[in-house]
Structure 1
Amino acid sequence: MKRKEKFENRKTVRKTECRRSRNLGSCPAAEVSKLQKTVNSFAYTLEKAHFLDYVQYASNEKRIFRRAFLTGLLRGFGTAVGVTVLGAVIIYLFQALAKSNLPYIADFISDIIDIIEKTRK
């Protein structure tokens, strides 16, 4: 074996032993430093993402239920208001088209408006 191959084999064995060992004292300082940087980076990422706040929020079931209920209620209310406004705009546009006296479109739209007004009453 050449000298370089022996060194590479020794290096590989050392890394494997360090990974298997529970005692960080047997690991090279460079690997401990790298591990420390990784852990610090992970901790910073969790802190930046407000992970602790999320865990506290997720552990309170009443708060989750209350927020989900109110969210659903407001979405339903918003949908109802949106459909009403959109329907009113469409009816207004149909009435404007009916008054424009276009040959076939005006008759068709006036029939639709008559049907809508009959169902309102």
Structure 2
Amino acid sequence: MQDAWPTEIRISQDRRSLTITFDDGQSFPLSAEMLRVLSPSAEVQGHGPGQKITVPGKRHVAIRAAAPTGNYAVRLAFDDGHDSGIFTWTYLRELGETGTEKFAAYEKELAEKGLSRD
């Protein structure tokens, strides 16, 4: 994952997913909902250990815009106003490889807290 380098980043027409393809041929479709609720931003991750926020109600969120950030990342803006997540290539690769497990853990957190994706 250290040398992950994207060759293509594509937002779907309905803006509900982003597909990233890497130079080793691996391609990962990532839902806007997953990207939003697992955003690397301080708003979601907190400012230190144990401060992570479980973000409910994002099932229908869409990607509003994507802007390159240096050579290492893309900043995603969502239609709910969230736009402070800077997604590094390494983190996007990690989400592609382990996103199913991370999203399942998110759904479990929602259930434990009595929250919903809707």
Say whether the fold is shared (TM-score over 0.5). no
| Larger fraction in helix | 1
Greater strand share, 1 or 2?
A: 2
TM-score (norm 2): 0.20
Structure showing greater Rg: 1
